[in-house]
Copies of this chain bind each other. A is one copy, B any other.
Amino acid sequence: MPMPTSRTRAAPTNAIYAQSGGVTAVINASAAGVIEAARRSRRIGKLLAGRNGIVGVLEEDLIDTSRESDAAIAALRNMPGGAFGSCRFKLGSLEKNRAQYERLLAVFKAHGVGMFFYNGGGDSADTCLKIAQLGEALGYPLQAIHVPKTIDNDLPRTDTCPGFGSVAKYVAISTREASMDVRSMASTSTRVFVLEVMGRHAGWIAAAAALASDRKLPIPLVLLLPEVPFDTARFLAAVQARVQAHGYCTVVASEGAQTADGKFLADQGTTDAFGHAQLGGVAPLIASLVKRELALKVHWATADYLQRSARHIASATDLEQSYAVGKAAVALALQGRNAVMPTIERVRQRPYTWRIGEAPLQEVANVERKMPREFIDATGFGITPAARGYLAPLIQGEPKTPFEDGLPAYPRLKHVAVKRRLPAFSAAGKPTPA
């Protein structure tokens, strides 16, 4: 084992927390969980945060979270976005990018860091695993714990992914509300409403829209899931049938909706009047198709970041789970674990109960959980009772959110920078191009 440098003669008891990838409405609840658990522990020294995720760690741009008040940390539960900044930055393979991994370990050493908490999705779990492996290979005493987070709900080994329940709730509520609107306009005006939601590879988010409709309040819905090849004629027939039966129809389209040849509907070459390429979108495409082929008035919306930042209507269940995985990550580290991720285990369906589990990162990294085929109904435009049973508990509960002057109030963080101890290093490859 290499000797610690003079600056870090003590055992590495400090820790680093970093946020990674697309943020969620509740990722900061995980940050609060990590920070509060670390504060309560006697064995963790300082908890530092990477400014803008792993990029800040690479560039030794660290935030001293001990300078934030307990109240500010508690209030992180209410704040969307990434409180310390996130990033889209892939470290890539150990072979090709060894210098970056070694830089990470150099930063850990320089700041006496023995625990690394990485809050992200599938790619980040892989990075976290590689960091753990390199630490072991170099004999540096490091525990790398992954804190799960992704609205895509595609991490394996966990019943659900923190962040998903809130976007699911947002989409279900928005679908219900907008459907009430179009229903009341349909006799003389809009008959079809199209809502585009996230989900490039899986239809989890679009599937959650189905929760908007239940026996008490049936809504004529058509879901467009990436798992079901888009067929123009079948789609138009489904819309028309619903309009005939109910007077209106709400279409919820996954951004990843695609034709049988795997081509995304959104990538079909939209151009403006001057021939410039225009950033596509499934919703305007579907809306135009319905208007042209069925001669019905259509409105469309694209929720984009609104859906994943809507902390004001987060799921209380999701919020609690996001906090819990943060707290559990610290507990796992204190138990001596390495290269693991706390998971959510479903104990009972009705009434829904859950507990925290644990999965080795070896079984998480590079494994994408798809929506099971048995969650999609025979028409391909809806979900099964099994899917409903899975999804329904995840959107339960409305957390109390503090408001000030009619708007959600957020903590003001000080973001006090930690003094640099190493030569400058540029995280090459940043920024990721559009």
Chain A residues with CB under 8 Å of chain B are 19, 22-23, 25, 52-53, 55, 79-89, 169, 172-174, 176-185, 187-190, 193, 195, 211-212, 214, 216-217, 268-273, 276-281, 283-285, 287-288, 291-292, 295-306, 308-313, 315, 392, 395-398, 403, 405-408, 410, 412, 430-434
Contact = CB atoms under 8 A, between A and B. Distances in A.
A59 to B, nearest CB: 10
A7 B183 CA distance: 34
Given A184-B81, A392-B405, A431 B211 contact: no
Contacts of A295: 434
Contacts of A211: 405-407
A177 B170 CA distance: 13
A52 B433 CA distance: 49
A179 to B, nearest CB: 8
What are the 5 A-B residue pairs with the smallest beta carbon separation, nearest first? A81-B180, A82-B184, A269-B273, A297-B434, A301-B304
B87 A188 contact: yes
Nearest to A211: B407
Given A83-B184, A177-B310, A431-B297, A279 B287 contact: yes
A185 B27 CA distance: 13
Contacts of A306: 174, 177-178, 195, 301, 303, 306
Nearest to A397: B406
B283 A302 contact: yes
Nearest to A431: B188
Contacts of A195: 306
A406 B412 contact: no
A408 B398 CA distance: 10
Contact of A299 (B86, B268, B305): B305
A52 to B, nearest CB: 4
A285 to B, nearest CB: 6
A296 B184 contact: no
A351 B237 CA distance: 55
A283 B272 CA distance: 13
B392 A297 contact: no
Given A212-B407, A268-B272, A23 B184 contact: yes
